């Protein structure tokens, strides 16, 4: 049942949280990227608005898509600078292996 352990990465069995918090330099780079990306997204939305009014029907999608990307950049900037990097929960591999074995036995019967 435990023959899959040699295929697991090492971080699975390490205890504790190994992710580093976002440094001040990292926050500065993310902020610089945000101050470049958001104005570009707003400009691109305005540009597509002009193209849409000239008769390019596909530009209507981009007119609203670019500001959405700008809002997404702001959301991610706030998320990363205020609360740090997101933590991914580690799965319980023993429970998953037991469920797999039980399912496999049901299929074999």
Q: What is the pTM of this model?
A: 0.59
φ, ψ (nearest 5 deg) of residue 91: -75, 155
Tell me whether residue 8 is in a domain: no
Please give the radius of gyration of the chain, using alpha carbons only, rounded to the nearest integer. Answer: 23
Tell me whether residue 75 is in a domain: yes
Angle at alpha carbon of residue 37, lines to 35 and 40, rounded to 5°:
110
Nearest to 45 by CA among 25, 28, 59: 59
**Quick one: angle between helices 24-53 and 59-83, nearest 10?**
170
Question: Which pLDDT value is given to residue 33?
Answer: 95
Residue reference for tokens 């193209």: 51
Tell me whether residue 11 is in a domain: no
Tell me whether residue 79 is in a domain: yes
Q: Which domain holds residue 50?
A: 32-83
Model confidence at 93, in pLDDT bands (50, 70, 90)?
confident
In this predicted model, what pLDDT tens digit does every residue of 29-60 receive, in sequence order? 999 999 999 999 999 999 999 999 999 999 99
Tokens, residue 79: 């998320």
Tell me whether residue 50 is in a domain: yes
CA 43 – CA 74 distance, rounded (Å)? 16
List the single range of 37-41, 73-77, 96-100 with lowest mean pLDDT.
Answer: 96-100
């Amino acid at each position: 049942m435990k023959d899959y352990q040699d295929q697991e990465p090492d971080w699975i069995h390490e205890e504790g949280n190994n992710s580093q918090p976002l440094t001040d330099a990292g926050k500065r780079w993310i902020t610089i990227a945000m101050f470049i990306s958001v104005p570009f997204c707003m400009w691109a939305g305005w540009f597509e608005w002009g193209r849409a009014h000239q008769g390019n029907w596909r530009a209507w999608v981009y007119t609203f898509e670019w500001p959405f990307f700008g809002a997404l950049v702001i959301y991610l900037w706030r998320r990363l600078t205020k609360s740090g990097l997101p933590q991914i929960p580690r799965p319980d591999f023993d429970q998953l292996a037991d469920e797999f074995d039980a399912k496999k036995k049901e299929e074999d019967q």
